[in-house]
Amino acid sequence: MGIKVFIAQPRGFCAGVTRAIDAVTASIEKFGAPVYVRKQLVHNNSVIDALSASGAIFVDEIDHLPEGATVILSAHGVGPEVYENARRRRLNVIDATCPLVTKVHIEAARYAREGRPIVIVGHREHEEVIGTLGYASADTSVVADIAAVEQLELPAGAAPAVITQTTLAVDDTRDTIEALRRRFPAVITPAHDDICYATQNRQAAVRELARSAELILVIGAANSSNSNRLREVAQAAGVRAYLIADLSELQTEWLDGVGIVGVTAGASTPEHLVAEVVSYLRSHHDASVEAIEVTRENVTFSPPAPVTRFKRSRPTKAVAKQSASGVPAEVTVNAAVAEEGVLDG
């Protein structure tokens, strides 16, 4: 008797990641190799290696790039000083910042203009938060959890404005914001949740996997915030879960005595890495595979200027029907979905 595999849908690439990857490949096609990419475009080494092989050069900073070089800014976003540095150096900038991160930058700049103290819920060392701090006021605080909120020092009666990193765990973020409300009753929160649709959808899918699975495998990079949050969401639901970069990190003993395995992938994980894990489970554990679908994503983001033409083998899939809270109103199990070849025999 083989094991049962439930695979999450949605999983893997979000629209922002697809937009960023397409920006690099289209830039190489349009301007010729090499093109430079500041920092990791997205947090996945498989993606970085593939783009490097096609003519992208990844750099930590742009200070030493040749004048006139093409440079792509990562999906995580950057602060204003990076744009100014690029302008001074007369670089050809392709801005691949995720539009949902740009929305957070706009919020931070607005609150800074209003002179409000700002609290960013997120991880200070993450590239997205570093970029957002560039738009915020000088007295901005960063808190990662409830414990950090309790230690936050703001003037009595302060009315801080709250923004959040887009890739956080939904439940943990909600609890942290509630703690801020208790300490600062006049706190101002965004009209719409800063946590992006893809993060929310993938976490909702993991919660549904956790209703049946005895083990959940999250495929994603160790430095991927949204992938780490998927593992944590699974564990919070009481299911043993592991984050693996690819099939090579799967330890066979994890599967001992397990009858049902859940599989998902972070928003920067290419589908072929998922397919390799599922193929292994089929061939070595006689696995049957079903999709658990919580919502269908069906949105694309416009390409960044000045890139206007993209090469895609198939349409990008992204956001779609959600309830007003951002969590799907209905969860369905679909055993007949053949998504990206993973469910094909």
Catalytically active residues, by annotation: 128
β-pair partners for 163: 120
> How many CB atoms neighbour CB 114 within 10 A?
11
Sequence-ordered list of residues with C-beta below 8 angstroms from that of 336, at least 6 positions apart, any chain:
none
β-pair partners for 137: none
* CA–CA gap between residue 170 and residue 193 (Å, rounded): 9
First to last CA, the chain: 18
In degrees and rounded to multiples of 5, residue 182 shows phi and psi of -65, -40
Sequence-ordered list of residues with C-beta below 8 angstroms from that of 257, at least 6 positions apart, any chain:
none
Nearest Cα neighbor of 264 from 48, 8, 6, 2 is 8
